[in-house]
Homo-oligomer: A and B are copies of this chain.
Amino acid sequence: MTDLGFVGLGVMGSRIAERLLDAGHCVTGWNRTRTKAEWLIERGLRWADSPREVALASDVVITMVTDTEALRQVTGGASGLLAGLGEGRVYVDMSTVSPAASRELAERVRATGARMLDAPVSGSVATLEEGRLSLMVGGDAETFERVRPVLEAIGPTVTYVGPNGQAALMKIATNLGLAVQMLAFSEAVLLAEKGGISRETAVHVLTNSAVASPMVRYRGPFVLRQPDEAWFDVDMMRKDLRLALEAGLEFDMPLPTTAVTNEFLTAARGMGLARHDFAVVFDVLAAMAGVEARREAREP
């Protein structure tokens, strides 16, 4: 078993770390808020006092943080992750950041003698718990082969995409579809409802139909009842769509449904719904349709 490190023990990160512990790995971890990691420490996680110390204790160290800014904070500085890397170590970033930011970080890692992979995931906590998570991996192929067993312990589907930054791009390209599918799903539910079909029936039919992606099956029922806590909120999804639209500008790639959907996420913010799961685009569309979105049940 490999000595692993894990920085960023949030909702998703902590469950991945748990999975690695369950697989018998030795895992050293760090999180900005230690209390959130207590349950993992009880299950065998070794606590370290900084990202740098995590890196020093590990052959392979993984990060999973919110955005590019958070990634800079855990990697840079005297107690940052980069300060603990060196020859022979591998660093795997599972955050969703821009391809450019990922490539730039990979170069700085290379300067320490270590190697980096970008390995974002497609899927949510539910997908992970069902053991059906997908990982895409960017970086050099040799490094990928070295850590492949660790990545396969996280999600069974692991696809090598290309050089550093390519998996970050592939993740962004994947996520644009999440938002678009959710808005199209909302159109279908509300069209059915305005034509006299109950919302429950419409959701039932659609989540068993040819459009029922994993996203639609997990998130579709949110239009009946919003979850107490957002799985992936409007701001997080906007961040990803922004990365997609900026990549579209950079590569001269028109993204028509993405662009339209992004405006509905912006409207969700305009309507004060930023902290809800991005399934709340349904509420924006319902407002335009003059339909009650049952929001009363959603706001504490």
> Could you tell me which A residues sit within 8 Å of B by CB distance?
99, 122-124, 127, 134, 136, 157, 159, 161-163, 166, 169-170, 172-174, 176-178, 180-181, 183-185, 187-192, 194-198, 201-202, 204-206, 208-216, 238, 242, 244-245, 247-249, 251-264, 266-267, 269-272, 284-285, 287-291
Contacts and interface: CB of A to CB of B under 8 A. Distances in A.
Contacts of A190: 253
Contacts of A248: 191, 263, 266
Nearest to A285: B254
Contacts of A178: 210-211
B288 A122 contact: no
A258 B184 contact: yes
A177 B188 contact: yes
Nearest to A127: B210
A52 to B, nearest CB: 32
Contacts of A204: 159
B257 A161 contact: no
Contact of A196 (B122, B166, B259): B166
Contacts of A245: 245
A249 B242 contact: yes
B253 A180 contact: no
